[in-house]
Amino acid sequence: MSSVMYHNSIMRKIRDILLQKGYHSELDYLFPKIVNGRNGKVDVIGVKGNNRIAIEVESSKREKTKLKLEKCGFDTKIVILISKDPKKIKEQKKFYGDNSQIKVFTFDEFEGVKFIN
């Protein structure tokens, strides 16, 4: 499976988890003028009542991902890491985790997250 196909399959699984928990969920949600006056897409969003979740699926460290999540205005901001390399996961958790607004999980960790109810 190509990396794009894998990325998209993880996005769909996340959407399905959110749907099962009663959220309205969309893939590739467009935020107008989110970063430097340009449009940006967030991989998955979930909305349930006043709880709004923005999720990016990443295999690398990207400053643009941090900026999108910081500026999206959603209450909960999450990066899901899809690397299987423990060293790379540790580096990515440090990179994204430096921002206390953003929660960082591997996909396996995300499946067990309790704050999404």
Domain harbouring 67, CATH code? 3.40.1350.10
Task: Determine contact, residues 35/50, Cβ cutoff 8 Å.
Answer: no
70 assigned to some structural domain: yes
List C-alpha distances in Å: 6 to 10, 38, 57, 87, 95: 6, 27, 10, 20, 22
Domain count, the chain: 1
**Residue 32 resides in a domain:** yes
pLDDT at 115: 61
114 against 76, higher pLDDT:
76
Quick check: 107 and 80 in contact, CB under 8 A?
Answer: yes
Residue 35, in any domain of the structure = yes
In-domain check, residue 107: yes
In a domain, 59, yes or no: yes
Q: Domain of 25?
A: 3-111
- Give domain status of residue 20, yes or no: yes
Instruction: Give per-residue pLDDT as tens, 45-103.
Output: 999 999 999 999 998 888 889 888 988 889 899 999 998 899 999 999 888 876 678 98
The predicted pLDDT at position 4 comes to: 87
Query: Model pTM?
Result: 0.90
Q: Has residue 116 been placed in a domain?
A: no
Tokens representing residue 78 in the block: 């999450």
Q: Quick check: is 117 in a domain?
A: no
